[in-house]
Copies of this chain bind each other. A is one copy, B any other.
């Protein structure tokens, strides 16, 4: 119990100033959390349904991410005591408030993908074909809209 249990440290010690910015940023900056929030906009989902929609996420990471979101008050976890266990996750009003500016950023990314790619190509050409070792970032799913 010291690794996949809660996650989201990411930002270590800095000066003495703000703190909440680093929390939000590390929240949306991790690999999956912002996608989870995107999928949860519009409708509550059960664990495995959510797992299917995010597609590619491991249950370990989904569990940990959801717990962090629940702890921070962005997601509500509702457990139905049915015979096969059933748990529903939904965005809280607070979570929807976060989802809104977040989707703006996602939309910006979608709208400007071409510009970024062009800038990178130009940069790589300028630096003389010496490709850096930055690994190509792999695809991800669109914002939400299921």
- Chain A positions near chain B (C-beta within 8 angstroms): 1-2, 5-26, 28-31, 34-35, 55-56, 67-68, 70-73, 94, 97-98, 101-102, 104-106, 108-110, 112-113, 115-116, 118-120, 122-124, 132-135, 137-143
Contact = CB atoms under 8 A, between A and B. Distances in A.
Q: Which 4 A-B pairs have the closest CB atoms?
A: A29-B29, A73-B119, A6-B134, A20-B113
Nearest to A14: B56
Q: How many copies does the complex hold?
A: 2
A47 to B, nearest CB: 18
Contact of A26 (B23, B120, B137): B137
A137 B23 contact: yes
Contacts of A20: 109-110, 112-113, 116
